[in-house]
Structure 1
């Protein structure tokens, strides 16, 4: 197999950025999910995570990382692609606004904002946030300018949060077992992995073989060939592999993948696959309208419900993809060793499990 695609998501839930190559660390691809959006209940002040399932308008935000000599600091440039207003959109906006805060905010005509990729936290306000039951030890509000812009785009009060040096604990058995960190000394215990705003592990790995199976379940006559031929982006992986030589859904049993190392100077990278990715209605979102898709592309989740609810610990959600940790990433980072991967790198399955892993993240 080979890596067929790489993605990074600096601001969680917005559109991913496709990459040709990426630098890996203990928390996955560099800059991945360091920022996150929350909506604020104006009455109670309660924060609610903003993700595609509940806030499909997240799909309308394109992001790119800008690093050039003309900029004093690296930036995330965010562009909002506002869809043409429709009656259905107005009704959805009103529904989302009332359910989130009871306050409707006029949407913005400003289509672009730039966010510092590595902001100075000394100037930022601390904030307490949690994701999937795992609180961040530190997190910071980026400030009114950013909150106001995102609030106008979404139509609900929104807060942009940066995790900085904050950490989230890994819960449940998605944590890789001790002794798999790559240390040459068996008695050495690697540092405990931790998370930024990634869901439950630093990386998500998916297979094109399984995507082809999903595509085969859809009525091809009802698909737009230009936009629906390859919709891996909807599954929001960090690493997609072409699946050559592997059956559809073979990844359910992958325990370890080895990436690269053939003929190069860098040692092979070992990925420890520890948990299944259960899927939600975000698969049905139309990235051009910011609403649930109509027709076949609005039925992707339903098509998977029939036979992909294969995780006994999460029996109501279909599985597509596997969460992964990088073996020995902490030691390599401490030794200032760069870990790089590229589209086209060879990927081998080096360990398989006899049974599927069981979801037990304690929500």
Structure 2
């Protein structure tokens, strides 16, 4: 097997950037989900822009140029693509593209608190130059926030490192932590929902596409993956991958695959309209309901993909398209999705507050 595609999401909820290489950090790929958009509410509070709640976010595509030297900050180019068949209504003077520094100068920027799934962090407000552009295209006030050096606690349970108690620092250990996992960091996340990485199998994607009538091919980016692995003999075999090793040009990268990724209606969005799909695009989730609700911890939602983490010794290594992948540990039974974002197994138990942030749990 080998890596066939690599994706990074420089701004959460917007369309990804396809790369041939990516660098490992303790928080995921180097530039992944370090920006996020916040919808300003009437009372001045913020609502996180997740794909499922804000499908129009998929109308924005991104490209990324990494820094070329010490004094170069790199760029993110965001392009707004009007909904299919519509003009820029009321926005004729709005440019189609916006350039944002990939690594901004945070000097003098206002700090604010961002809370994702009960995992708070600090971030920097990028200012009106950027927020006004996004606000014009969304049609309501949004703020562009940059994570900077901060991070969020991983809330979901992990087999090798239990979730730390409230009040414990990111370097805290628990009595039940095992020394055999000393190389596994107690990571903090960027604006990714649950884990540093999301891995999917191209074989499973092909099988899923075959369930949709006609020649419809499911767009893999609807699942928000970081790595697509091709060459697996059987669809859905990744459900039983506990660890995979990537043979990079330097030394192998070990990725522990620890939880399933349960799915929500965000995979039914029609990217050409920025709205829930009315045709074949709207059938993707339904096509998985019959036999892919295989996680007892999220029994109402079908599963596609595995959440993963790398090790401390992998930081700084580069993976690329074509790198060979080997499953180095298999599990006998599918994992059960643990504590993440106050996860409940019965939708009737959801409170209004939880529903507001619920969809972003699925799809990273």
TM-score (norm 2): 0.83
Select which of 313, 318, 331 maps to 1:353.
331
Aligned residues: 325
Query: Could you tell me how far apart the structure 2 residues matched to 1:37 and 1:188 are?
Result: 35
The CA deviation at 1:68 is 7.0
Name which of 294, 308, 319 aligns with 1:310. Answer: 294
Q: What is the deviation of 1:309?
A: 1.3
**8 Å contact from structure 2 (residues 4, 228) kept in 1:** yes
Please give the alpha-carbon distance, in whole angstroms, between the structure 2 residues aligned to 1:78 and 1:217. Answer: 33
8 A Cα contact 2:119 2:153, kept in partner: yes
More moved, 71-80 vs 279-288: 71-80
Q: Which segments of 5 or more consecutive residues in structure 2 lack a partner in the other structure?
A: 163-172, 174-178, 343-364
Residue aligning to 1:343:
321
CA–CA distance in structure 2, aligned partners of residues 332 and 268 of structure 1 = 8
- State the shift of 1:72 in Å: 4.8
Maintained 8 Å contact 1:108/1:149: no
- In the TM superposition, residue 310 of structure 1 has moved relative to its aligned partner by 1.2
Question: 1:193-221 deviations in whole A, cap 9, x for unaligned?
Answer: 1111111111000001111121111111x
Shift of 1:86: 5.4
Q: From 134, 154, 174, give the equivalent of 2:119.
A: 134
Pairwise CA RMSD:
2.5
TM-score by length of 1: 0.83
Q: Any gaps of 5 or more consecutive residues in structure 1?
A: 91-104, 180-184
SS in 2 for 1:255: strand
Cα offset, 1:145, TM superposition = 1.6
Instruction: Report the Cα distance in structure 1 between the residues aligned to 2:92 and 2:197, rounded to whole angstroms.
Output: 34
Give the equivalent residue in structure 1 for 2:232: 244
Q: Which moved more, 1:196-205 or 1:168-177?
A: 168-177
1:111-190 matches, within 5 Å, as 111-136=96-121, 138-174=122-158, 176-177=160-161, 186=180, 188=182, 190=184
Contact 1:257 1:348 in 2 (8 A): yes
Q: How does 1:1-363 map to 2 (within 5 A)?
A: 1-42=1-42, 44-67=43-66, 72-84=72-84, 109-136=94-121, 138-174=122-158, 176-177=160-161, 186=180, 188=182, 190-220=184-214, 223=215, 228-229=216-217, 231-245=219-233, 247-260=234-247, 264=249, 266-327=250-311, 330-333=312-315, 338-360=316-338, 361-363=340-342
* Contact persistence 2:184–2:310 (CA under 8 A): no
Change in 2 beyond 3 A, CA 1:310/1:84: closer
Q: CA deviation at 1:110?
A: 1.9
> In 2 relative to 1, CA 209–145 (structure 1 residues): closer, same or farther, beyond 3 Å?
same
